[in-house]
Structure 1
Amino acid sequence: MNTLALFGACGPIGQSIAAALSAQGRRFRVVGREAGRLQAAYGANPLAECVTWNPDSPASIRAAARGVDTLVYLVGVPYWHFDRHPQLMQRTLQAAIDAGVRRVVLIGTIYPYGRVQGGNPVREDHPRQPHTFKGRMRLAQEELLLQAHAAGRIQATVLRLPDFYGPGVLTSLLHGAACAAVRGGTADMLGPIDAPHEFLYVPDAGPVVVRLADTPAAYGRTWHLAGAGATTQRALVQEMERLTGRPLKLRVAGRGTLRLLGLFSRLMREMVEMHYLLSEPLLMDDSALSQLIGPLRKTSYAEGIRQTLAAVPATAPLRRSARPA
């Protein structure tokens, strides 16, 4: 049994992992709530087995996990339902154990760390002391998994990612700017845009996740995959301007504006508590990961922005950017 399954496969990171597996000629399973989305993303890939599930049903989870050796967990929830993260993990974990799954890789976030203590860059031993509700829910999710590993019930690891961007990534902080750079108009962004930040180019993630999942020594702890170094949103906007040859109009929303917009938008209201990550940056040190699995390919911001702009349809409707779940 060597099947690798992507639970929550239709997001950008899931598709990056699937591309890496396909490049190796490996068969894999993709699991999602909606058959239509799975077919649209993977129906033409002969290596992908499409399976639907109901994450609220233990029987459905067991069926989706049956025959799987390694489960990569990418399941997202709406920003206003972060209380579901521990619940979904608990159900999925128990059902996976019952189905005979040996390993789980959780694609995690920096939310459980809370505010930076001791300065940047942050290593994996940074205290996990979240001061936000979303951070506490993500921490509870991680604890369920790592406690199961410590108890010998399953092998588990967590890979933390920063904000990401890339071709077709609609949930990036940079998506609105990329659309405006290609189509014209004004880019809506979250500020401050001059503070240090890091972004992971999504196609770089998949090969790393596959290598991590295949490495026995990876299990039992947390790892970081950082972006291509510290930058700023403004610097990346300037790169877009350089590539298109024209200035970009910006409309930048800070914390106060988010609070105001939150009176009318549930998403904006939920984003307020995580705004500190823009004004109090947390940058990751991923040297431990490179020591474990070897060199980590990092696409330069210049090349990543070029590829991102090239993938923006000239006439598609704009979507509001949002942070990943």
Structure 2
Amino acid sequence: MSKVALFGAAGVIGPSIAAALGRNGRPYRVVGRNEGSLRKAFGADPLAEIVTWNPDSPASVRAAAEDVDTLVYMVGVNYWQFELHPDLMRKTLEGALAAGVKHIILIGTVYPYGRAQSNPVSEDHPREPHTFKGRMRKAQEDLLMQAQADGRIRATVLRLPDFYGPGVEASLLHRAALAAVNGGTADMVGPLDRPHEFVFVPDVGPVVARLVETPAAFGRIWHIAGAGVTTQRELVSEMERQTGAKLKLRVAGKTMLRLIGLFNPFMREMVEMNYLMTEPLLMDDSALQRLIGPIRKTPYAEGVRQMLAAVAKTRTLSAATA
């Protein structure tokens, strides 16, 4: 059985893909910079092979990709260092080609599209990013898909909307979940009432596992959409319904983000992407469903329940070790 390698495995999406591969009895390799983080996340799975790498070392990249058929790329950077994305892709692609990797799946984002010209957005929507982050993500995609066009590798991109789920601290909804369970005020990025969609992270892994086994997936770009159109306000209301408590909210719009960004580099970098909160970009994944069949999408109420349960469990564990 050919091996799958998850580069950037310790991030948000990696554990979901690993779990799906594990359920299929498929061995896989997890690759990251920090061995401790990898062992904490995957060390209990006998199917997981743990490998560290240094993306600045061609020999290290090649070694991490040796004996791999399909490489799933999820390598993250700090939100204020998006200029690193194209360079990291180039280094990984060169190492993968040298190692004989045959397929690469890039877990992507909607950033390369820029503003939605119509909704829902299908894969043939123009890529016209008007933000720096969008241009860097587009450059990353272009490097990979040019290698596909040149016949050097079989490649595809799976684009995701915003995500949420148990333990997903990078989600727009995470602080609301913390406040719903622990009390206090939830800091959120607004506006909260515009149409939006979220993908439940545990739903992504099974889709990627199916793409690995689908030769026709390679050579083009695909979308996975959320579980329907919603708003942040609706999901906050669902948290209130499930906990029986009214949430206190502190909502930052673009002007407030600029002010907070004077002291917080992450918030400063969110300013240019705030258009995604004010101008809906909703995804059409009908092409993907025609390719691999129906996609299991966790309803928002159930996703919120699992997210709140994870926060409550973390609080209980913290109290027990205090």
The answer to whether the superposition gives a TM-score over 0.5 is yes
Cα deviation 1:108-143 (Å, max 9, x = unaligned): 0000000011x2100000000000000000000000
- Alignment-derived partner of residue 171 in structure 1: 170
Residue in 1 aligned with 2:86?
86
Return the alpha-carbon distance in structure 1 between the equivalents of residues 227 and 211 of structure 2.
Answer: 19
Tell me the equivalent position of 2:34.
Answer: 34
SS at match of 1:123: coil
1:321 aligns to what? none
Instruction: Look up the match of 2:315.
Output: 314
Q: Which residue of 1 aligns with 2:235?
A: 236
The residue that corresponds to 1:61 in the other structure is 61
Residues 246-285 of structure 1: pairs in structure 2 closer than 5 A: 246-285=245-284
1:214 partner amino acid = E
1:116 aligns with 2:116: yes
- SS of residue paired to 1:144: helix
Output the CA distance in 1 between the equivalents of 2:12 and 2:205: 10
TM-score by length of 2: 0.97
TM-score when normalising by structure 1:
0.96
Displacement of 1:58? 0.9
Q: d(CA) in 2 for partners of 1:252 and 1:214?
A: 43
Q: Is the 8 A contact 1:183 1:315 kept in 2?
A: no
Alpha-carbon distance, 1:315 to partner? 6.1
Partner letter of residue 314 of structure 1? Answer: R
Distance 2:316 2:80 in 1: 30
Kindly provide the amino acid, as one letter, of the partner of residue 66 in structure 1.
Answer: E
Tell me which residue corresponds to 2:71. Answer: 71
Deviation of residue 214 (structure 1)?
1.3
- Decide whether aligned partners of structure 1 residues 91 and 115 sit closer, same or farther in structure 2, where only a CA change above 3 A counts: same
By how many angstroms is 1:12 displaced?
Answer: 2.2
Question: 1:52 — aligned with what?
Answer: 52
Map Cα deviations across residues 188-246 of structure 1 (whole Å, 9 max, x no partner): 00000000000000000000011012110011110000000100000000000000011
SS at match of 1:273: coil
The match for 1:138 is: 137
Counterpart AA for 2:4: L
Q: Which amino acid aligns with 1:271?
A: M
Q: Which amino acid aligns with 2:247?
A: L
Alignment-derived partner of residue 151 in structure 2: 152
Q: Which residue of 2 aligns with 1:320?
A: none
Question: Could you tell me which residue of structure 2 aligns to residue 214 of structure 1?
Answer: 213
Identity %: 71
**Counterpart-to-counterpart distance in 2, 1:202 and 1:296:** 13
Paired with 1:314 and 1:168, the residues of 2 have a C-alpha distance of: 12
Instruction: Please report how far the alpha carbon of residue 314 of structure 1 lies from its aligned counterpart in structure 2 after TM superposition.
Output: 2.5
C-alpha separation between the residues in 2 aligned to 1:100 and 1:183? 50
Runs (4+) off by over 2 Å? 313-317
**Aligned equivalents of 1:26, 1:215: Cα separation in 2:** 15
Where does structure 1 lack aligned partners over 5 or more consecutive residues?
318-325
Residue 278 of structure 1: how far off its partner (Å) = 0.3
Query: Whole-Å Cα distance in 1 between the matches of residues 213 and 131 of structure 2?
Result: 33
Amino acid at match of 2:315: A
Could you tell me how far apart the structure 2 residues matched to 1:85 and 1:260 are? 27
CA–CA separation in structure 1 for the residues paired with 2:84 and 2:212: 25
Question: How many Å separate the matches in 1 of 2:167 and 2:245?
Answer: 22
1:125 aligned partner: 124
SS at match of 2:315: coil
SS in 2 for 1:314: helix
